[in-house]
């Protein structure tokens, strides 16, 4: 094992088959004599299991068997391979076959809630009981359940183009069977000829609100009062009986039953009494006044709340929707100086992970949108204040603080010991993830704001004193650049992953040749994003993917998609394993049971953690740090230190994401500005939209290829944000709502408080509140 950092080479091909075999071993996969891929699903998280099923289907497997299934959700979700058979042995979790388009899913056991949710086509066969809300919004395909089902089965079933959804239930059902049904066939076989609790028991719940399709129930005398609003009994004609008989025979074929005895029984048909079952509830025939009125309640959308940088994605998309592109870009520029390099490339996109739209089809593509506005320049402010501010450290936090202070009219100088600004963005992050020219694009925008960069300058004690003499205020944002090496036996054989990446990126920037590490084995300790950058550097140096082993004490925290791509190439991620000892030939690790294993490696790169280097600060300020060397209390209401003219920000407070440090830098700048201007600093606090007012079910799913990126804002549900779509105005049955620009008004003499406007609002902005003392008013702004 060597202690140097040579780097070079190319990614060698030829690992596809090895990787496929490793994946099968990882998931305990095998192939039975019929050619089916069999996966032991015990202990596999539902996301990982679903990803594997999709991966196998994409690579041509057409018979997949999942054994030992124990509650994994969304199995078969979104599969669109018509000739695929997915067999599930065990009890799957909720939303089995969600948005299924073509395949057959067969469950040898019971199923939980929401089977066939928004199913488009294909077939689902359940050899057991079914839970609640089966076939919710189902618009095509067939669902067969051998035994009983729960409540609200068939709710909102609908016919879609030439697709007619069919549900056949072998036993009985709970209340609200066929509720709000808009199309399709729902057949209740009642195999045991029960006369109690066949289709629920609560009054007026059977097929309540039905306005399309038909229900068929065998051998049951529907009790008086069980039919819901809008439902009526009808005769089943000859053609209808033939259609029902066809599906009953299919049911019997799947479950190996005799169809004759089931078909010989009486058949009850339930159909809509009209097309608008609740029409009589609306104005003018519905005179009630509930005592409530609509009220606009604006909140931060989940995407904005989740963003550590505070990027107002929902409001940005609202402005795009309204055609105000310049204002949209300016809004992002108010928040971050790195809207192109960070938002467009390296951000982990917590906004996407928290996007409500993802519950409908797929998340709004914010990264692609961020890259589309690369050429938009920033507005350069004229200096308004005489104070000069110094920033030490040109990483994300320092850049953000400098940018925000320059925007507020201060003269800012940034000092950094590296030859270029950017901090870890320049020195550490892989050029595959963030190309140098794209980083330099944002750095040029910051310089255009009037920020002066002094690079190649290490600040020591004497220079710090000089800076404090020449500048009115100082922001320290030096980051955490001292690698932490585990204090184990043989630690001298461990290499700092941070130093390795710095040297690698320096060579790339300088155009130097990268020494090859071909035929070397490398162990990577730590599985975060920095480790992924290190692995990509190793691949550039010629290391075979199969010779790279990642060791972590927990599930790796790296971006899941980046990890998946590396695993596809053959990189092995192993966890939980605990590093015990290092040797020239490799490392010794223990598993959670204390069993020791030797991992051979020519090099061991450690990507565990880093700490700040603060030797240039006065001793009194260094004493403010915690035992790990961080200012962990900074940012809790203030970034200030005991020194009246020094603030600290960024990884000095504890290591965070790039986006975290962008947000910290902005807040630090706001506090410095308030201090210098004699104002009061109040940390920015987001008011998140309540989850109860998120309504993904009100949106219509679309396919990924159907939406151009320029129209992506139309897919945004604008949670907690009003976009003046006028859906509430148009939906009001009494015409009580009007809009003038961004102002909405309600005519209280007409408003009955029915809540139709609130039920129509896609973003959950309108809420119903008590009228209280407003009854004497005729008009009120909401």
pLDDT, tens digit, 9 for 90 and up, residues 724-747: 889 899 888 888 999 998 889 999
Quick one: what percent of the chain has pLDDT higher than 90? 69
- Return the structure tokens found at 687: 């008011």
The Cβ of residue 42 has, within 10 Å, a number of other Cβ atoms equal to 13
User: Quick one: pLDDT band at residue 20, thresholds 50, 70, 90?
Assistant: very low
Tell me how far apart the alpha carbons of residues 352 and 558 are, in angstroms, rounded to a whole number. Answer: 16
The string of pLDDT tens digits covering residues 406-455 is 999 999 999 999 999 999 999 999 988 899 999 999 999 999 999 999 99
Contact 556, 580 (CB under 8 A): no
* 759: Cα within 13 Å, side-chain hemisphere: 7
Residue 92: HSE in the Cβ half-sphere, 13 Å Cα cutoff: 36
Predicted pLDDT of residue 384? 85
Predicted confidence at residue 289, as pLDDT, reads 77
Please give the Cα distance from 512 to 507 (Å, whole number). 5
Q: What are phi and psi of 680, to 5 degrees?
A: -110, 130
- Specify the range with the lowest mean pLDDT, choosing from 8-22, 309-323, 537-551: 8-22
Dihedral sign for Cα atoms in the order 612, 617, 620, 621: negative
Residues 177, 186 contacting (CB under 8 angstroms): yes
DSSP-assigned letters across all residues of 491-507:
GGG-EEHHHHHHHHHHH
Question: Residue 283's closest CA among 626, 747, 770, 777?
Answer: 747
d(CA 467, CA 668): 19
What whole-number distance in Å separates Cα of residue 231 and Cα of residue 382? 71
Q: Which residue has the higher pLDDT, 141 or 381?
A: 141
Q: Which of 300-304, 370-374, 387-391, 561-565 has the lowest mean pLDDT?
A: 370-374
Give the pair of three-digit tokens for residue 119.
């199913």
DSSP states along 584-622: TTEEEEE-TT--EEEEE-SEEEE-S-EE---TTS-HHHH
| 90: β partners | 69
Distances (CA, A) of 556 to 27, 266, 282, 565, 576: 17, 60, 55, 14, 9
Residue 627: DSSP 8-state: T
pLDDT over threshold 60, residue 775 = no
Mean pLDDT of 668-675: 97
Q: Write out the H or E segment, with its range, that includes residue 368.
A: helix 366-372
pLDDT at 34: 81
pLDDT-derived band at 122, boundaries 50, 70, 90? very high
**453 vs 420: CA distance, rounded Å:** 9
pLDDT of residue 6: 35
Q: Note the Cα 468 to chain centre separation in Å.
A: 45
Average pLDDT over residues 14-23: 45
Mean local confidence (pLDDT), 669-673: 97
The neighbouring-strand residues paired with 10 are none
Q: What's the rounded Cα separation, in Å, for the pair 455 and 343? A: 25
Q: Is 190 left (phi over 0), alpha (psi -120 to 50) or beta?
A: left
421-435 tens-digit pLDDT: 999 999 999 988 899
* Structure tokens belonging to residue 166: 């069919």
CB-CB neighbours of 664 under 10 Å: 28
Closest by CA position to 233, among listed 267, 188, 196: 267
Name 768's bridge partners: 294
Q: State how far the Cα of 239 lies from the Cα of 245, in Å rounded to an integer.
A: 10
Q: How far apart are CA 26 and CA 235, in angstroms?
A: 57
Short-list 27, 67, 23, 19, CA closest to 44: 27
* pLDDT of 285 above 50: no
CA-based radius of gyration for the chain: 32
Per-residue pLDDT at 585: 96
Instruction: Say which residue the tokens 């094992």 belong to.
Output: 1
* CB of 77 closer than 8 Å to CB of 98: yes
Dig out the tokens for 465 from the structure: 């004193």
The separation between CA 683 and the C-alpha centre of its own chain, rounded to angstroms, equals 26
Least confident of 89-93, 159-163, 703-707: 703-707
pLDDT for 275 equals: 67
What span, in angstroms and rounded, lies between the C-alpha atoms of 544 and 575?
21
Kindly indicate the confidence band of residue 4, based on its pLDDT and cuts at 50, 70 and 90.
very low
pLDDT over threshold 70, residue 22: no
**Predicted local confidence at residue 17, as pLDDT:** 45
- Predicted pLDDT at 777: 52
From CA 504, how far away is CA 554, in angstroms rounded? 27
380 pLDDT more than 80? no
Q: What is the pLDDT of residue 381?
A: 77
- Half-sphere exposure (CA, 13 Å, Cβ side) for 116? 39
**351: closest CA among 299, 307, 317?**
307
Considering only residues 775 and 644, tell me which one the structure prediction assigns the higher pLDDT. Answer: 644
What is the pLDDT, as a whole number, of residue 81? 93
> Helices 325-335 and 313-321 meet at what angle, rounded to 10?
170
Kindly list the distances between the CA atom of residue 288 and the CA atoms of 291, 751, 752, 754, in Å, as whole numbers in the listed order.
9, 10, 6, 8
pLDDT at res. 503? 94
Region 202-226: mean pLDDT is: 91
pLDDT category at 19 given cuts 50, 70, 90 is very low
Q: Of 289, 96, 103, nearest to 750 (Cα)?
A: 289
Q: pLDDT by residue (tens digit) across 581-606?
A: 999 999 999 999 999 999 999 999 99
pLDDT of res. 123: 97
The per-residue pLDDT for 29 is 83
Q: Determine the average pLDDT of the residues in 199-223.
A: 92
Question: What tens digit of pLDDT does each residue of 168-201 get?
Answer: 999 999 999 999 999 999 999 999 999 989 999 9
Cα dihedral angle (87, 92, 98, 104), rounded to 10 degrees? Answer: 10
Residue 1 binned pLDDT confidence (cut-offs 50, 70, 90): very low
The residues pairing with 186 across neighbouring beta strands, listed in sequence order, are 167, 215
Please work out, in degrees rounded to the nearest 5, the angle formed at the alpha carbon of residue 94 by the alpha carbons of 358 and 136.
75
Q: Residue 67's beta-bridge partner residues?
A: 40
- The tens digit of pLDDT for each residue in 460-488 reads 999 999 999 999 999 999 999 999 999 99
Q: Is 248 a residue whose pLDDT tops 60?
A: yes
Q: Which residue has the higher pLDDT, 666 or 225?
A: 666
- The neighbouring-strand residues paired with 256 are none
CB 211 within 8 A of CB 192: no
**CA-based angle 562:564:567, to the nearest 5?**
110
pLDDT of residue 705: 75
**Residue at token pair 């029960």:** 194
Amino acid 383: pLDDT: 75
Q: Name residue 231's beta-bridge partners.
A: 272
């Amino acid at each position: 094992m060597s202690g140097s950092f040579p780097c070079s080479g190319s990614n060698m091909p030829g690992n596809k088959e090895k990787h496929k075999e490793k994946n099968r071993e990882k998931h305990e996969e095998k192939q039975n004599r019929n050619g089916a891929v069999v996966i032991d699903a015990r202990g596999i998280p539902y996301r990982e299991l679903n990803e594997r099923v999709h991966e196998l289907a994409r690579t041509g497997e057409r018979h997949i068997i999942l054994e030992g299934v124990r509650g994994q959700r969304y199995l078969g979700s979104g599969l669109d391979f018509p000739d695929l058979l997915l067999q599930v042995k065990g009890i799957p979790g909720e939303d089995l076959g969600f948005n299924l388009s073509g395949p057959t899913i067969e469950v040898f056991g019971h199923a939980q809630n929401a089977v066939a949710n928004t199913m488009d086509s294909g077939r689902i066969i359940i050899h057991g009981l079914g839970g609640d809300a089966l076939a919710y919004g189902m618009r095509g395909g067939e669902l067969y359940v051998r035994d009983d089902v729960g409540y609200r089965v068939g709710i909102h079933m609908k016919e879609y183009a030439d697709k007619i959804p069919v549900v056949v239930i072998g036993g009985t059902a709970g209340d609200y069977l066929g509720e709000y049904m808009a199309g399709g066939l729902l057949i209740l076989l009642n195999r045991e000829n029960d006369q109690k609790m066949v289709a629920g028991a609560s009054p007026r719940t059977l097929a309540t609100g039905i306005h399309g399709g038909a229900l068929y129930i065998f051998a049951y005398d529907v009790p008086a009062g069980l039919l819901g609003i809008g439902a009526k009994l009808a005769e089943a004609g000859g053609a209808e009986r033939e259609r029902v008989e066809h599906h009953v025979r299919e049911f019997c074929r799947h479950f190996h039953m005799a169809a004759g005895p089931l078909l010989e029984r009486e058949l009850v048909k339930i159909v809509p009494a009209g097309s608008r079952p609740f029409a009589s509830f609306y104005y003018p025939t519905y005179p009630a006044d509930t005592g409530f009125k609509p009220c606009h309640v604006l909140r931060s959308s989940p995407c904005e709340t989740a963003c550590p940088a505070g990027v107002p994605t929902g409001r940005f998309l609202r402005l795009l929707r309204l055609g105000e592109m310049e204002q949209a870009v300016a809004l992002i520029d108010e928040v971050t100086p790195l809207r192109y390099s960070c938002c467009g490339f390296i951000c982990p996109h917590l906004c996407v992970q928290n996007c409500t739209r993802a519950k409908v089809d797929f998340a709004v593509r914010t990264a692609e949108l961020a890259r589309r506005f690369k050429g938009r320049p920033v507005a350069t402010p004229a200096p308004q204040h005489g104070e000069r501010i110094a920033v030490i450290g040109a990483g994300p936090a320092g850049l953000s603080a400098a940018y925000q202070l320059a925007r507020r009219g201060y003269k800012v100088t940034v000092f950094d010991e590296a030859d270029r600004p950017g901090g870890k963005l320049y020195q550490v992050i892989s050029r595959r993830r963030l190309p140098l020219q794209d980083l330099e694009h944002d750095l040029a925008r910051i310089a255009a704001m009037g920020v002066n960069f002094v690079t190649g300058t290490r600040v020591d004690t004497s220079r710090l004193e000089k800076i404090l003499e020449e500048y009115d205020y100082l922001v320290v944002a030096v980051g955490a650049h001292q690698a932490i090496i585990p204090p184990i036996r043989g630690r001298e054989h461990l290499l700092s992953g941070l130093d390795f990446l710095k040297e690698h990126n320096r060579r790339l920037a300088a155009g130097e040749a990268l020494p090859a590490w071909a035929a070397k084995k490398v162990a990577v300790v730590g599985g975060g994003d920095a480790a992924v950058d290190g692995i990509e550097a190793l691949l550039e140096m010629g290391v075979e993917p199969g010779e790279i082993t990642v060791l972590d004490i927990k599930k790796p925290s790296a971006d899941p998609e980046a990890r998946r791509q590396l695993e596809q190439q053959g990189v092995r991620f192993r966890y939980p394993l605990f590093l015990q000892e290092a040797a020239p030939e490799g490392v010794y690790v223990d598993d959670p049971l204390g069993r020791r294993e030797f991992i051979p490696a020519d090099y061991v790169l450690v990507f565990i953690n880093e700490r700040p280097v603060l030797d240039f600060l006065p001793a009194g300020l260094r004493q403010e740090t915690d035992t790990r060397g961080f200012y962990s209390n900074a940012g809790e209401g203030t970034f200030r230190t005991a020194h009246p003219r020094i603030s600290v920000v960024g990884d000095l407070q504890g290591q965070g994401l790039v986006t975290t440090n962008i947000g910290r830098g902005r807040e630090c700048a706001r506090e410095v500005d308030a201090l210098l201007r004699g104002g009061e600093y109040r940390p920015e606090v987001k008011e998140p939209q309540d989850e109860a007012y998120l309504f993904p079910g009100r949106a219509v799913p679309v396919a990924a290829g159907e939406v151009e990126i320029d129209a992506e804002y139309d897919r945004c549900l604008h949670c907690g944000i009003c976009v003046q779509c006028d859906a509430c105005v148009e939906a009001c049955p009494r015409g009580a709502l009007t809009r003038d620009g961004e102002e909405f008004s309600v005519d209280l003499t007409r408003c009955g408080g029915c809540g139709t406007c609130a039920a129509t609002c896609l973003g959950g902005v309108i809420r119903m509140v008590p009228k209280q003392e407003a009854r004497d008013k005729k008009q009120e702004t909401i």
